[in-house]
Amino acid sequence: MITLGPSRLSASCSTTAGGWSTASAFADPERFDITRRAGVHLSFGQGSRYCIGAPLARIELRAAVSHLLARFPAVRLAVPAGELRIRGEQLTGGLVELPVTW
């Protein structure tokens, strides 16, 4: 066992570094803030490990969101932002669901 911050880890424990949740890079990193100034974005990797599909993914996301907003201009969260639940998985984290209404 080793101690890493407040956690005790066994020798067989797998870990993943979460650069997006680092307080030294982002003020209050665990709080959802859509107005937050973008910092270093690590979702697609960096340097020689940068995802070759990142530009296509950005184009697809921009197209999907713009079409969604054009079709449903009044779309909004169906619950307060503080009630959104986040998955705890290391590699596939993100929202459990995104309830919206229009």
Question: Model confidence over 51-84: pLDDT tens digits?
Answer: 999 999 999 999 999 999 999 999 999 999 999 9
Asked if the structure places residue 29 within a domain, the reply is: yes
Domain range spanning residue 46? 2-72
Asked if the structure places residue 98 within a domain, the reply is: no
- 39: pLDDT strictly greater than 70: no
**Residue 75 confidence (pLDDT):** 95
Q: Give the chain's largest Cα–Cα span.
A: 53
Return phi, psi of residue 31, to 5°. Answer: -95, 130
**Residue 100 confidence (pLDDT):** 95
**Residue 30 confidence (pLDDT):** 79
Nearest-5° Cα angle at 43, 38 to 47: 95
Closest CA to 64 of 75, 51, 52, 80: 75
**Domain count across the chain:** 1
Whether 46 and 76 have beta carbons less than 8 Å apart is answered as no
In this structure, what DSSP letter does residue 89 have? Answer: -
- Distance from C-alpha of 94 to C-alpha of 63, rounded to nearest angstrom: 21
Average pLDDT across the chain, whole number: 84
- 92: pLDDT strictly greater than 70: no
